Amino acid sequence: NGIEFLISKGMKLVVIACGTATSQALEEVKDLYNIPIVGVITPTVNYIKETGKKQIGVIATAGTIRSKGWENAIINAIDDANVQSIACPLLAPMVEEGWNDNKIAELAINEYLQPFNKIDLLIGCTHYPLLTKVIRKKIGNKVEIINIGEHVAKETKNILSDRNEVAQNKKQELDIYLTETECKFNEVASKLLGKEVKAKQVKEELEFLN
Protein backbone atom coordinates (compact mmCIF):
# COMPACT_ATOMS: atom_id res chain seq x y z
CA ASN A 1 0.00 0.00 0.00
CA GLY A 2 0.94 3.66 -0.11
CA ILE A 3 2.22 3.87 3.47
CA GLU A 4 4.44 0.81 3.02
CA PHE A 5 5.80 2.33 -0.17
CA LEU A 6 6.74 5.51 1.71
CA ILE A 7 8.34 3.54 4.52
CA SER A 8 10.38 1.65 1.92
CA LYS A 9 11.80 5.04 0.90
CA GLY A 10 13.02 5.71 4.44
CA MET A 11 10.29 8.06 5.65
CA LYS A 12 10.46 9.20 9.29
CA LEU A 13 6.83 10.33 9.37
CA VAL A 14 3.80 10.14 7.10
CA VAL A 15 1.13 12.85 6.75
CA ILE A 16 -2.30 11.81 5.49
CA ALA A 17 -2.94 15.08 3.68
CA CYS A 18 -6.67 14.64 3.12
CA GLY A 19 -9.64 15.29 5.37
CA THR A 20 -11.63 12.29 4.14
CA ALA A 21 -8.73 9.85 4.46
CA THR A 22 -7.86 11.26 7.88
CA SER A 23 -11.37 10.79 9.23
CA GLN A 24 -11.80 7.31 7.75
CA ALA A 25 -8.36 5.74 8.01
CA LEU A 26 -6.02 7.47 10.48
CA GLU A 27 -7.03 5.55 13.58
CA GLU A 28 -6.92 2.26 11.69
CA VAL A 29 -3.43 2.70 10.25
CA LYS A 30 -1.42 4.66 12.80
CA ASP A 31 -0.95 1.67 15.12
CA LEU A 32 0.11 -0.63 12.29
CA TYR A 33 3.47 1.01 11.66
CA ASN A 34 6.50 2.04 13.70
CA ILE A 35 6.62 5.62 12.44
CA PRO A 36 4.29 8.48 13.35
CA ILE A 37 1.31 9.02 11.06
CA VAL A 38 -0.33 12.45 11.22
CA GLY A 39 -3.71 13.52 9.89
CA VAL A 40 -4.88 17.00 9.01
CA ILE A 41 -7.83 17.30 11.38
CA THR A 42 -6.45 17.21 14.95
CA PRO A 43 -3.64 19.78 14.52
CA THR A 44 -6.07 22.19 12.86
CA VAL A 45 -8.84 21.72 15.43
CA ASN A 46 -6.33 22.26 18.26
CA TYR A 47 -5.45 25.62 16.72
CA ILE A 48 -9.12 26.57 16.26
CA LYS A 49 -9.74 25.81 19.92
CA GLU A 50 -6.94 28.22 20.85
CA THR A 51 -8.59 31.03 18.85
CA GLY A 52 -11.78 30.79 20.89
CA LYS A 53 -13.87 31.21 17.77
CA LYS A 54 -17.19 29.36 17.66
CA GLN A 55 -18.79 30.19 14.30
CA ILE A 56 -16.94 27.89 11.94
CA GLY A 57 -17.43 27.22 8.24
CA VAL A 58 -16.14 24.14 6.46
CA ILE A 59 -15.78 23.79 2.69
CA ALA A 60 -14.44 20.54 1.30
CA THR A 61 -15.03 17.73 -1.15
CA ALA A 62 -18.34 15.90 -0.99
CA GLY A 63 -16.64 12.86 0.57
CA THR A 64 -15.09 14.89 3.36
CA ILE A 65 -18.35 16.65 4.17
CA ARG A 66 -20.22 13.33 4.07
CA SER A 67 -17.76 11.76 6.52
CA LYS A 68 -18.45 14.55 9.07
CA GLY A 69 -14.81 14.26 10.10
CA TRP A 70 -14.30 17.98 10.58
CA GLU A 71 -17.72 18.58 12.10
CA ASN A 72 -17.43 15.80 14.67
CA ALA A 73 -13.87 16.73 15.67
CA ILE A 74 -14.76 20.41 16.12
CA ILE A 75 -17.93 19.74 18.12
CA ASN A 76 -16.12 17.22 20.35
CA ALA A 77 -13.25 19.61 21.03
CA ILE A 78 -14.99 22.99 21.27
CA ASP A 79 -17.98 23.68 23.49
CA ASP A 80 -20.87 25.50 21.80
CA ALA A 81 -19.20 25.42 18.40
CA ASN A 82 -21.53 26.07 15.47
CA VAL A 83 -20.31 24.31 12.33
CA GLN A 84 -21.68 25.06 8.86
CA SER A 85 -20.46 22.61 6.21
CA ILE A 86 -20.74 22.97 2.44
CA ALA A 87 -19.63 20.40 -0.13
CA CYS A 88 -17.71 22.00 -3.01
CA PRO A 89 -16.93 19.13 -5.41
CA LEU A 90 -15.72 21.32 -8.29
CA LEU A 91 -13.02 23.21 -6.42
CA ALA A 92 -10.33 20.53 -6.03
CA PRO A 93 -10.42 19.56 -9.74
CA MET A 94 -10.23 23.24 -10.64
CA VAL A 95 -7.08 23.69 -8.55
CA GLU A 96 -5.57 20.59 -10.15
CA GLU A 97 -6.34 22.14 -13.53
CA GLY A 98 -4.55 25.33 -12.47
CA TRP A 99 -7.76 27.39 -12.32
CA ASN A 100 -7.17 28.84 -8.86
CA ASP A 101 -7.27 32.54 -9.71
CA ASN A 102 -9.51 33.19 -12.69
CA LYS A 103 -13.12 34.13 -13.43
CA ILE A 104 -14.26 30.50 -13.33
CA ALA A 105 -12.83 30.06 -9.82
CA GLU A 106 -14.46 33.31 -8.71
CA LEU A 107 -17.89 32.31 -10.02
CA ALA A 108 -17.66 28.86 -8.39
CA ILE A 109 -16.59 30.31 -5.03
CA ASN A 110 -19.37 32.91 -5.10
CA GLU A 111 -21.95 30.19 -5.76
CA TYR A 112 -20.66 27.68 -3.20
CA LEU A 113 -20.17 30.14 -0.32
CA GLN A 114 -23.53 31.88 -0.79
CA PRO A 115 -25.40 29.74 1.83
CA PHE A 116 -23.06 30.61 4.71
CA ASN A 117 -24.50 32.62 7.55
CA LYS A 118 -22.13 34.61 9.77
CA ILE A 119 -18.85 32.76 10.29
CA ASP A 120 -15.66 33.82 12.09
CA LEU A 121 -13.38 31.19 10.64
CA LEU A 122 -13.25 29.07 7.48
CA ILE A 123 -11.63 25.68 6.98
CA GLY A 124 -11.07 24.30 3.51
CA CYS A 125 -9.86 21.15 1.79
CA THR A 126 -6.08 20.78 1.49
CA HIS A 127 -6.33 22.11 -2.09
CA TYR A 128 -8.06 25.30 -1.06
CA PRO A 129 -5.20 27.49 0.23
CA LEU A 130 -4.46 28.02 -3.47
CA LEU A 131 -7.92 29.60 -3.71
CA THR A 132 -7.39 31.96 -0.77
CA LYS A 133 -7.23 35.11 -2.90
CA VAL A 134 -10.57 34.35 -4.56
CA ILE A 135 -12.20 33.19 -1.32
CA ARG A 136 -11.06 36.39 0.41
CA LYS A 137 -12.86 38.48 -2.22
CA LYS A 138 -16.09 36.69 -1.34
CA ILE A 139 -15.96 36.59 2.47
CA GLY A 140 -14.04 39.77 3.26
CA ASN A 141 -11.18 40.40 5.68
CA LYS A 142 -12.91 39.69 9.00
CA VAL A 143 -13.16 35.92 8.52
CA GLU A 144 -9.99 33.97 9.31
CA ILE A 145 -9.12 31.52 6.54
CA ILE A 146 -7.31 28.47 7.90
CA ASN A 147 -4.34 27.09 6.01
CA ILE A 148 -4.40 23.47 7.16
CA GLY A 149 -0.87 22.85 5.93
CA GLU A 150 0.64 25.36 8.36
CA HIS A 151 -0.76 23.58 11.40
CA VAL A 152 0.09 20.11 10.12
CA ALA A 153 3.65 21.29 9.42
CA LYS A 154 4.00 22.62 12.99
CA GLU A 155 2.69 19.34 14.40
CA THR A 156 5.09 17.39 12.19
CA LYS A 157 8.06 19.48 13.34
CA ASN A 158 7.07 19.05 17.01
CA ILE A 159 6.83 15.27 16.67
CA LEU A 160 10.17 14.98 14.88
CA SER A 161 11.80 17.30 17.44
CA ASP A 162 10.51 15.17 20.32
CA ARG A 163 11.98 12.10 18.60
CA ASN A 164 15.28 13.90 17.82
CA GLU A 165 14.71 13.20 14.15
CA VAL A 166 14.76 16.69 12.66
CA ALA A 167 17.08 16.63 9.64
CA GLN A 168 20.35 18.50 10.17
CA ASN A 169 21.24 18.54 6.48
CA LYS A 170 20.01 21.87 5.11
CA LYS A 171 20.12 20.65 1.51
CA GLN A 172 16.53 20.27 0.37
CA GLU A 173 15.54 17.57 -2.07
CA LEU A 174 12.02 16.97 -3.32
CA ASP A 175 10.86 13.59 -4.57
CA ILE A 176 7.26 13.36 -5.75
CA TYR A 177 5.55 10.08 -6.55
CA LEU A 178 2.09 9.72 -8.08
CA THR A 179 -0.02 6.66 -8.79
CA GLU A 180 -1.25 8.41 -11.93
CA THR A 181 0.84 10.82 -14.00
CA GLU A 182 -1.68 11.44 -16.79
CA CYS A 183 -2.69 14.80 -15.37
CA LYS A 184 -1.48 18.41 -15.23
CA PHE A 185 0.30 17.89 -11.91
CA ASN A 186 3.82 18.64 -13.18
CA GLU A 187 2.68 21.78 -14.99
CA VAL A 188 0.65 23.16 -12.08
CA ALA A 189 3.19 22.21 -9.39
CA SER A 190 6.06 23.75 -11.37
CA LYS A 191 4.10 27.00 -11.69
CA LEU A 192 3.24 27.13 -7.98
CA LEU A 193 6.71 26.18 -6.70
CA GLY A 194 8.59 28.29 -9.20
CA LYS A 195 10.83 25.44 -10.31
CA GLU A 196 10.55 22.41 -12.55
CA VAL A 197 8.72 19.47 -10.98
CA LYS A 198 8.81 15.97 -12.44
CA ALA A 199 6.71 13.45 -10.54
CA LYS A 200 7.50 9.76 -10.76
CA GLN A 201 4.86 7.08 -11.25
CA VAL A 202 4.73 4.33 -8.61
CA LYS A 203 1.88 2.16 -9.86
CA GLU A 204 4.10 -0.83 -10.57
CA GLU A 205 5.92 -0.58 -7.24
CA LEU A 206 2.63 -0.38 -5.31
CA GLU A 207 1.33 -3.44 -7.12
CA PHE A 208 4.51 -5.28 -6.15
CA LEU A 209 4.11 -4.33 -2.48
CA ASN A 210 0.48 -5.49 -2.51
Nearest-angstrom CA–CA distance, 1 and 65? 25
Strands 82-87 and 37-39: unpaired
125 is catalytic: yes
C-beta separation of 36 from 159 below 8 A: yes
Of 154, 153, 157, 152, the closest CA to residue 167 belongs to 157
DSSP string, 5-28: HHHHTT-S-EEE--HHHHHHHHHH
183 is catalytic: no
Q: Which of 14, 15, 18, 146 is catalytic?
A: 18
Q: Which of 88, 125, 148, 202 is catalytic?
A: 125
Nearest-angstrom CA–CA distance, 181 and 4? 20
Using alpha carbons only, what angle is made at residue 118 by residues 115 and 121, rounded to the nearest 5 degrees? 100
Q: Which residues are catalytic?
A: 18, 125
